[in-house]
Structures are given as C-alpha cells and as structure tokens.
Amino acid sequence: MTDFTDEVLTPGFDANDAVARRLEEWIVAHEQDLYDYLCELISYDTTNYQTHGLEEIGQEFLAKSLEDLGYAVDIYAPDDVPGLTEHEEFLPGRGSADRPNLTAYHKDVDPQSATVREQGLLLAAHMDVMPAGDESAWTYPPFAGTIADGRIYGRGSGDNKFGLASSYMIMRGIAELGLKAEIPLLFTSYTDEEYGGGNGALASCLKYPTRSIINLDGGNSELWVAALGGGLFALDFQSETVVGVNNKTAGLLCIAQSAFAKLGEQAVERLSQNEWYRDTEFVEYAYRLFAMSCGAGALGANQGSGHLSWSYYTDWSEEELFARMNAVYENEIVPAMRRLGFKSNGIYKTTRFFPYSGCAENNTDLDLISDCAALVTGEHPRRAGASLSDLNIFMKYGSPLSFNYGIFRDFNLPGGAHQPDEFIDCEEFLTITRVLAHFVARYCKLN
C-alpha cells in the first residue's frame, strides 16, 4: 500500500477506508487461491468455434463455486432473453441458444429492481477463449493452467479468465468476511466474445441493466475508456472460366490487397488523430491483413478462386467505412476483375461491425478506480482506447459509464492474447484484484 498526499488523490477519496483495506488484505492472504482458481478455470476447454462454443462446462464450474458461497446464480441462454434475437445487434449463426451466460448476485438482491438499474455495479468477463491451435507450439499444455516463473500459462489466462477469477475472489471475499453491500453488486460471465460475437454481452445488458459496468477484458493495466470501431471483412472471387494455374488469381489478389492497404493508410491517419488512440499500438494496426489464398491446391483442379480477408480499426461509422471500401472495390478491383476474367459478389463482413463509442463525460467511476489503482501501485493508470471487444455493446446497451480494465498482454507479443504460450504475470494479477477490491468496497459501500 502506498502513502499519498491529498493532492495526488481525488478530493473526498478516503485512502484509509477500513472495509476496503480489510477486503484487500483478505485477497492478499488468499493469493495462492486466486492463482489456483484461475488455473482451474483454464483447465476447462471453453473454445469459441464461431458457429458454436464450449463455454457451458466452464459456466457450470463457476456456477457451483458461487452457489457454494451462497449467491443466487442465473444460468441462461442468450437467445431466451426477450428481444435478443430481434435486436439490431444480434448476430445469427453463432449457436447462442446453447452457449449460456451466468449472472450471480446476493440472494437478498432483486436484480430487476430500480435500485440495480440506477445504482448497481456489474463486473463482467467472458468465458470463451480462442482455439489453442497447434499444441506442439506451446511450452505447457494450453488447457493445463500452469504456474511457472511467476506466470500463469494457458489459453484464456489473459483473455479473459483472469477477469472471471478476480471477480470470483472478490465475491468470495465479501461472502467469507460477512460484508454487506449497500449498492448491489452483480457478476456476469458472458459467452461468445471472440470472433466478433457479442450475443452474450448483449444478453447481459438486456437482462441485467446496471448503472455501471467494468468489463474486465482489458490489457496493460490500463483503463480503456473508448470502444474501438471496425470489424473483419472478406472478398471472394472466381474465374469466369476454368483455369489450371494461379497466375491471374494471385495477380488479382495482389491488386485487391494493395487497394485495401491504401485505404488502410487513411484509417491509420484517421486513428492517429483520435484522442484515445493516438500513440497506441492500435494506430499501427488500423489495417490488418489476415489471409490471402488462391487456387484449389491440387494439380488438375480449377485454380480460379481467390479469397482475401482483412480488418480495419476505426472511428468511422459502418456506413462511412463501407462507402469507402465499396468505392475501392468499384473503382479499382472491379475493372481488374473484368480485365482478368473474374467475378465476385463483393465485400462481406465476417464479424459483426463494432461501432465506435467515445468516453462518457464526467465519469466519476474512472476517477474512483484510478485512485484505487494509485493507492495500490503508486501511480494512476493510463486512460486509453480499447481493442476490439464487447465494450461498445456494454456502452451502448448496458451503461455509457462502462469501461474495460485488465492485464492481458498485447496480441503482437510472445505469450500475448491469442498466441501460443499465452500467460499473465502473477504479481500483476494479484495487483489488479487488490485494486478491484478497493473499488468494489467503495462503490458498493461495503460494511
């Protein structure tokens, strides 16, 4: 714990809140339990396969853990939430009828009450993880949950099961210390976040609206206060005649990639001017090429098919981005297809579109958690924009005061989110849980 002068912390912040310190001390005393619980969560393979997912087994384990503490637990299919399948943000074809969400709260709380809607706090994190890929590329088995060298290794350790484990330990600490919350606290483990899903987060917003939401799907111990826009897109094309070589197909792919990369330069410049994204790694990756493939891969087969997929990170609206992409398609790619003898049905989305959402003004929750972090670590966390996540859903349909907070490592780093040997640092994991303990104790007025 760091000592601060009153000038460093927000006026009125009580650095000596006895209940907050008590909960933090409980977390520190149960440090090994925190690590072990995350390892157990990792041991459940909850992979997201886009059209379906394996989250249910993890939700069942988490539900039992919370029920054993005396909490009310609701396990529900997103599709059963009234209005979800008719909602403008609903993404069909994701198997969400069989990928249950989980929401827990104290048995004395009416989760549908005006008090919850107007004052309540929701801690949220997602249960699904990316596929592990080639397991031979991992030093430790991806679903073992291995503690080594001050780190916890495993698929989902950072993205996003640390958030589930931190929230669970906060709930456990409150229960075991016999603390009561004046302001209701809810905890949701949602499904189908990876691959641009969103149905789980949307279902949570529709069924359990609260005043404030901390989506524990962040990185670098930063406060992510704006939701990045954009999405993943693809273009397929086919030769109008049977061809036996890939020469023209590959040439057309290069033309298309170059054209979208030029638009990507505009996206980079645009994002570099955004107050929440300038000087972040997201600017460099405002355009990302994911796949270029052509041909049938076998001698004697028709080699005239091509596929290109890419993403843009942006604060352009969906309409504006598609207008720009379609202009590139019509002006540069269609003439090349005609010249080379190809046809296409045009650009299509492979994920939902993520609408950009800026930071809410006068969000005192950010000041509170920033003070809590400074109290624990000695410095206020940086405020920046989020990666593509379900933050925009939480902001738009849950609470405009939502923000992301977390410790996963950048996607482009060894051991980062989605990478082989994904890991988190144990000390950072303990630290963020201590910060959350201080925040929850103060926000919910634990006594």
Q: Is the whole-model pTM more than 0.85?
A: yes
pLDDT of residue 301: 78
Q: State the amino acid at position 310 in one-letter form.
A: W
Residue 283 has pLDDT above 80, yes or no: yes
Residue 364 has pLDDT above 80, yes or no: yes
Q: Which domains does the chain have, with CATH numbers?
A: 18-227+357-443 (3.40.630.10), 230-349 (3.30.70.2740)
Instruction: Tally the C-alpha atoms within 13 A of residue 391's C-alpha that lie toward its C-beta.
Output: 30
- State both tokens at 84: 């979800």
- Determine the average pLDDT of the residues in 219-243: 96
Confidence of residue 7 (pLDDT cuts 50, 70, 90): low
Residue 3 has pLDDT above 80, yes or no: no
The Cα–Cα gap between 382 and 77 comes to 36
The Cα–Cα gap between 252 and 303 comes to 13
**Contact of 192 with 185, CB cutoff 8 Å:** no
Longest Cα–Cα distance in the chain? 77
Confidence of residue 4 (pLDDT cuts 50, 70, 90): low
**pLDDT tens digit sequence for 15-73:** 999 999 999 999 999 999 999 999 999 999 999 999 999 999 999 999 999 999 999 99
Confidence of residue 295 (pLDDT cuts 50, 70, 90): confident
**Contact of 67 with 73, CB cutoff 8 Å:** yes
* pLDDT cut 70: percent of the chain above it: 98
- Determine the average pLDDT of the residues in 178-186: 98
| Through-space distance between the first and last CA atoms of the chain, rounded to whole angstroms | 21
DSSP string, 175-195: HHTT--BSS-EEEEEE---GG
The Cα–Cα gap between 439 and 418 comes to 29
SS3 340: helix
**pLDDT tens digit sequence for 420-434:** 999 999 999 999 999
pLDDT of residue 2: 60
Confidence of residue 1 (pLDDT cuts 50, 70, 90): low
**Contact of 10 with 431, CB cutoff 8 Å:** no
Helices (H) and strands (E) counted in the chain, each on its own, are 13, 16
DSSP string, 106-172: -TT--TTSHHHHHH-EEEEEE--B-----GGG-SS-TTT-EEETTEEESTTIIIIIHHHHHHHHHHH
The H-or-E segment that residue 395 falls in is: none
